[in-house]
């Protein structure tokens, strides 16, 4: 069981907006910034969002992140077929003294 | 551009050990922690531990403490992850990842190394 809780699956049609939630605790999300990673099938994870809502260079602005208290959310607008992937949230956990991940959300573009 | 190149796939018997390497390009190695993450087949990501090469200090996930050792060799810009007393549930793809200090995030990842444990 993962320290951060995510829904196992999400779906949407091309052009739609979808949101993926991530729930933690006061020692994880409540005390740290949230990152989001995208993992395409058969590939290594890729950094999508850092510092809750910042995008690395090259990540389209269709991807946005937010955080409130001990929860976070990743939103993808203008959904495209190439967005079909697994998405993981992550944060530093002060109690565990280590990085923790969500269980991952598999996004299907219908 | 940072590149992390990992060693090849391994097949091990239960009870044995495995050592996976991760070679980094550029001078990013010295000042950036290198972390290790694993992913069992069809499962999510699990942080194993990390090392700061400059000081050779490492910290580990509590669930693996005592079985895992992560080291860094500055002379070759290579990090190593050794896991002992292997069990079937250690079967996974093992990734190394650079932690960008300013971003507090893993911005570059290795290609992954498949470790299979079976008798």
Nearest Cβ partner for B47 among A46, A47, A98: A98
Q: What backbone torsions phi and psi does residue A82 show, to the nearest 5 degrees?
A: -75, -5
pLDDT digits 0-9 by tens, B59-107: 999 999 999 999 999 889 999 999 999 999 999 999 999 999 999 999 9
Exposure string (b/e) for B17-40, b if CB count within 10 Å is 16 or more? ebebbbbbeeebbeebbbbbbbbe
pLDDT of residue A90: 98
Alpha-carbon distance B118 to nearest alpha carbon in chain A (angstroms): 22
Residues A100 and A2 sit within 8 Å (Cβ to Cβ): yes
pLDDT digits 0-9 by tens, B52-64: 988 888 999 999 9
| Residue B114 at interface with chain A, using a CB cutoff of 8 Å | no
Angstrom distance (rounded) from CA A17 to CA B115: 38
Specify the 3-state DSSP secondary structure of B92.
Answer: strand
Alpha-carbon distance A8 to nearest alpha carbon in chain B (angstroms): 10
pLDDT of residue B54: 83
pLDDT of residue A65: 98
pLDDT of residue A102: 98
Nearest Cβ partner for A44 among B44, B62, B109: B109
| Residue B46 at interface with chain A, using a CB cutoff of 8 Å | yes
CA dihedral angle for residue A72, residue A29, residue B98, residue B115, rounded to 10 degrees: -90
DSSP state of A54: B
Nearest Cβ partner for A97 among B46, B59, B97: B59
Helix (H) or strand (E) holding B22: strand B18-24
| Residue A29 at interface with chain B, using a CB cutoff of 8 Å | no
Alpha-carbon distance A68 to nearest alpha carbon in chain B (angstroms): 19
Which chain A residues have a beta carbon less than 8 Å from that of B6? Answer: none
Q: What backbone torsions phi and psi does residue A30 show, to the nearest 5 degrees?
A: -65, -20
pLDDT of residue A27: 97
pLDDT of residue B117: 98
Angstrom distance (rounded) from CA B36 to CA B46: 9
Residues B60 and B52 sit within 8 Å (Cβ to Cβ): no
Beta bridge partners of B52: B57
Residues of chain A with pLDDT under 70: none
pLDDT band at B27 (very low <50, low <70, confident <90, very high): low
Identify which of A9, A44, A19, A22 has the alpha carbon closest to the alpha carbon of residue A89: A22
Which chain B residues have a beta carbon less than 8 Å from that of A98? Answer: 47, 49, 59-62
| Residue A2 at interface with chain B, using a CB cutoff of 8 Å | yes
Q: Which residue has the higher pLDDT, A108 or B30?
A: A108
Specify the 3-state DSSP secondary structure of A30.
Answer: helix
pLDDT of residue A23: 98
Percentage of chain B exceeding pLDDT 70? 97
pLDDT of residue B90: 98
Identify which of A31, A17, A9, A13 has the alpha carbon closest to the alpha carbon of residue A102: A9
- Which residues, in sequence order, are CB contacts of A9 under 8 Å at separation 6+? A105, A106, A107, A108
């Amino acid at each position: 069981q993962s320290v951060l809780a995510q829904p196992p699956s999400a779906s949407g049609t091309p052009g739609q907006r979808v949101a993926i939630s991530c729930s933690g605790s006061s020692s994880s999300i409540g005390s740290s910034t949230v990152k989001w990673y995208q993992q395409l099938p058969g590939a290594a994870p890729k950094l999508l969002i850092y510092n809750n809502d910042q995008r690395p260079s090259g990540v389209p602005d269709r991807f946005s992140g937010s955080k409130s208290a001990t929860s976070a959310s990743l939103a993808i607008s203008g959904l495209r077929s190439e967005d079909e992937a697994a998405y993981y949230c992550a944060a530093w956990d002060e109690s565990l003294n280590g990085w923790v991940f969500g269980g991952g959300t598999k996004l299907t573009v219908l | 551009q940072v590149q992390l190149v990992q060693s090849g796939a391994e097949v091990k018997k239960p009870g044995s050990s495995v050592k996976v390497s991760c070679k980094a390009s550029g001078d990013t190695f010295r000042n950036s922690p290198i972390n290790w993450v694993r992913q069992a087949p069809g499962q999510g990501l699990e942080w194993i531990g990390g090392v700061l090469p400059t000081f050779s200090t490492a910290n580990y996930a509590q669930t693996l403490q005592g079985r895992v050792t992560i080291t860094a060799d500055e002379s070759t810009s290579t990090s190593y992850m050794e896991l002992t007393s292997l069990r079937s549930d250690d079967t996974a793809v093992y990734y190394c990842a650079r932690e960008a200090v300013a971003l507090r995030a893993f911005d570059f990842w290795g290609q992954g190394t498949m470790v299979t444990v079976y008798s």
